[in-house]
Amino acid sequence: MPLPDTMFCAQQIHIPPELPDILKQFTKAAIRTQPADVLQWSAGYFSALSRGDPLPVKDRIEMPVATQKTDTGLTQGLLKVLHKQCSHKQYVELAHLEQKWKNLCLPVENFRTLLQLDPCENKIEWIKFLALGCSMLGGSLNTSMKHLCEILTTDPEGGPARIPFETFSYVYRYLSKLDSDVPEGDTESYLATLKDTV
C-alpha cells in the first residue's frame, strides 16, 4: 500500500537555526580529514563536538604517500589531530587514547603494536606516545624527529619548525634509547653539538 502524499510546510517542521552551519562545518571537516570509515569518524566528531573537546579534524587534506606494504594508515596530519586532542594532559589514559585512535579510523592492531615499543600499564606520557607515532611514520631517528618538530612547532607551515631544545633533547634521548643501533655516547655527543649551535 503506497504511503499517502503528505505535505509539510514551515509551520509543521521546525529546523533549528544552527543546524545548517553544524552540517556545513561537519561536511568541510569530513572532506579535509578523508576518514576511512565515515560513520566511526562521525561518531567521534559529534561526540567531541557535544563535549566541547577538540575535533578530530585535519588542518588540511593530505595526499597519501604510503605504499601498500608500509601503509599503517597513520599520517602526520592524524598525529597532529591526536596532539590537539591529547596534549593538554601530560599523561593520557590508554583506553581514552585508543578511543581517539579508533575515531580516526586507524587500525587498533597498529595502536597495540606501537605500545609494544615501550610497554606501559594504564597510561602513557603524551609526548612519548607522540614520539612513538612519529617513529612509525619515519624509518630513521632523524625522520621521526623531523615529523615531531613539524607537529609541535608554532612556526608557520613551511617555516623552520622550531621547538624548544629541552623538548627536542628529551624526545631524542627517548627514541634513541629504544633504538639499539644508536650508542648512548653518540646521542649525548650529538645533543651537545646541537646545543652549542642553538
pLDDT digits (tens, 9 = 90+) for 103-115: 999 999 999 999 9
Q: Please report the pLDDT score of residue 180 as a whole number.
A: 77
Task: Kindly state the DSSP code that residue 91 receives in the 8-state scheme.
Answer: E
Q: What is the pTM of this model?
A: 0.81
- SS3 state at 127: helix
**Beta strand spans in 26-101 (E):** 91-93
Q: How far apart are alpha carbons 40 and 35 in whole angstroms?
A: 9
Q: Please report the pLDDT score of residue 80 as a whole number.
A: 94
pLDDT at 62 over 90: no
Q: Please report the pLDDT score of residue 8 as a whole number.
A: 64
pLDDT digits (tens, 9 = 90+) for 120-179: 889 999 999 999 999 998 778 889 999 999 999 998 888 888 999 999 999 999 999 988
Task: Calculate helix-pair angle for 108-116, 94-103, nearest 10 degrees.
Answer: 140
pLDDT digits (tens, 9 = 90+) for 4-51: 666 666 667 788 889 999 999 999 999 999 998 999 999 999 999 999
Q: Please report the pLDDT score of residue 66 as a whole number.
A: 47
pLDDT at 69 over 90: no
Q: How confident is the model at residue 81 (pLDDT cuts 50, 70, 90)?
A: very high
59 vs 45: which has the higher pLDDT? 45
Residues 37 and 73: beta-carbon distance below 8 Å = no
Q: What is the DSSP string of 8-22?
A: --TTT-PPPTTHHHH
Residues 56 and 48: beta-carbon distance below 8 Å = yes
Q: For the chain, give the percent of residues with pLDDT over 90.
A: 61
Q: Please report the pLDDT score of residue 5 as a whole number.
A: 63
